[in-house]
């Protein structure tokens, strides 16, 4: 079960230029996921603790046919970032399964061979916090020097072309 804490409640979808809500998530069980996110062995972490200059968050559901169709494209995006030494440590991706249990998230992870950390949101806590968005929904956060963030992308639907999406992110984040 996902335990999520918030600084304050909100129910509107954050828009480009705004700060993304500070969300606390359970620490990943897999050592590889902890290492990827740059986290230590605590019980929980805040999104602001992820070691990255840019954080891509996909809100998905294992039951969403669009999310299933999107999974290979997001995997391609991950691979493009991972194979570039200049981007690998700067851009991280996580997925949050809206209404999905840990079991359902594991099914999605295994079925679509998702290489980045996925988190269950079986109580819809995060989903409500970000405005009960449709899936798939992508938020891209630029992490500022003080670990606050600025939302540089907020949109429902497909990324269509991973290379173009990455180019958009690099431009918006000034990581050219």
10: pLDDT confidence band, cut at 50, 70 and 90? Answer: very low
Residue 18 lies in a domain: no
Residue range of the domain that includes 151: 24-38+51-172
Task: Answer whether residue 40 shows pLDDT above 90.
Answer: no
Going from the C-alpha of 71 to that of each of 13, 50, 79, 99, 153, the distances in angstroms are 23, 22, 12, 17, 19
**71 contacts 112 by C-beta, under 8 angstroms:** yes
Rounded mean pLDDT of 107-121? 98
Average pLDDT over residues 117-133: 95
- Indicate the number of domains in the chain: 1
Q: Torsion over CA of 116, 105, 10 and 137, rounded to 10 degrees?
A: 60
SS (H, E, C) 136-171: CEEEEEEECCCCCEEEEEEEECCCCCHHHHHHHHHH
Q: With contact defined as beta carbons under 8 Å apart, do 155 and 67 qualify?
A: no
pTM here is 0.92
The reply to whether 56 falls in a domain is yes
CA distance 12 to 14: 6
Query: What is the tens place of the pLDDT at every residue in 45-83?
Result: 999 999 999 999 999 999 999 999 999 999 999 999 999
pLDDT confidence of 7, banded at 50, 70, 90?
Answer: very low
Asked whether residue 66 is assigned to any structural domain, the reply reads yes
Q: What CATH number corresponds to the domain at position 72?
A: 3.40.30.10
Residue 130 covered by a domain: yes
CA dist 102 and 2 (Å) reads 8
Question: Does residue 137 lie in a domain region?
Answer: yes
């Amino acid at each position: 079960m996902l335990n999520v804490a918030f600084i304050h409640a909100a129910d509107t979808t954050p828009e480009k230029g705004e700060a993304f809500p500070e969300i606390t998530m359970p620490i990943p069980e897999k050592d590889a996921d902890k290492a990827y996110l740059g986290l230590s062995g605590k019980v929980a972490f805040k999104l602001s603790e992820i070691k990255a200059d840019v954080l891509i968050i996909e809100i998905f559901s294992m039951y969403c046919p669009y999310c299933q169709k999107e999974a290979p494209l997001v995997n391609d995006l991950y691979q493009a970032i991972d194979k570039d030494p200049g981007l690998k440590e700067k851009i991280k991706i996580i997925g949050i399964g809206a209404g999905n249990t840990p079991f359902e998230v594991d099914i999605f992870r295994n079925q679509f061979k998702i290489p980045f950390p996925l988190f269950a949101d079986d109580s819809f806590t995060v989903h409500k916090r970000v405005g009960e968005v449709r899936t798939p929904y992508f938020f891209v956060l630029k992490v500022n020097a003080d670990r606050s963030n600025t939302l540089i992308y907020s949109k429902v639907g497909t990324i269509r072309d991973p290379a173009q999406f990455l180019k958009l992110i690099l431009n918006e984040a000034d990581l050219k």
